[in-house]
Amino acid sequence: MQLDQPLSEKEFNELDQFLLSDRSSDDAMTMDTLHGYLTAIAIGPETIMPAEWLLKVWGEDASAIPKWKNAKEEEKIVNLIMRFMNEVLVTFEVAPKEFEPLFCEAEHEGENLIDAEAWCWGFWEGMELRPGSWDPIWESDLAPLMRPIYLLGADEIEEAELAEVDTPVKGHKLALEIEANLPAIQRFWVPLRKAPVQTVKRDEPKVGRNEDCPCGSGKKFKKCCGADSAE
């Protein structure tokens, strides 16, 4: 399967189940959190390589990396994540106004309301990979567009701000603002990015075959994702 192909429903569910399973740590991201995380990486101020961001999908440190059954399983799951990332990249490259954040829905007093907290937490985690690099947008006229993500995703907000997120209805309204704001946030960074937006490719090794694999497994490249390239 090519890495530029979007996930099928079956593949989406397979990745979802793996992240929720006992094979993944309790700190592993869920699909909505992962989507927010990948979105921040895709549209933010710097290009960040998978070797860096993939580790955080599993948890806070390298000890959270799944204990793979075999190299084939590892390659399959990692490729699903890469393709999930590429969906985000391609949508913003081709049709940013059509991008749909992977928000959850919850029923509240007979209404289906959007719950964007997990997605926003993931986005915030993506920002934390390069916290200082996001300063220009906070210091610009677009700062208000970032505020809903901050209110729903930051680890801590000011006590006076809690009233802005203290009901599901308020959270729903903020989620709608986030979806509307994302194209403008992405446009802000396009001329400022330190490298062009590129989909993730693994056709050719970007590291030496005796170096650690960029997927975060801890194995040598030639024994992991680079094994196929040796055939």
Per-residue pLDDT of 141-181, as tens digits, reads 999 999 999 999 999 999 999 999 999 999 999 999 999 99
Distance CA(139)–CA(72), nearest Å, equals 46
**What sign does the CA torsion over 10, 81, 154, 101 have?**
negative
Q: 201 φ, ψ to 5°? A: -125, 140
The tokens describing 5, both together, are 């192909």
Q: Write down the CATH number for the domain with range 9-200.
A: 1.20.120
**Burial per residue of 106-142, b for 16 or more beta-carbon CB atoms within 10 angstroms, e otherwise:** eeeeeeebbbbbbbbbbbbbbbebbeebbeebeeeee
Q: Are 121 and 153 in contact (CB under 8 A)?
A: yes
The answer, yes or no, to whether residue 204 has pLDDT greater than 90, is no
Length of the chain: 231
pLDDT band per the 50, 70, 90 thresholds, residue 110: confident
Report the share of the chain in percent with pLDDT over 70.
82
Q: Are 205 and 182 in contact (CB under 8 A)?
A: no
pLDDT tens across 12-62, in order? 999 999 999 999 999 999 999 999 999 999 999 999 999 999 999 999 888
Neighbours of 170 (CB within 10 A): 15
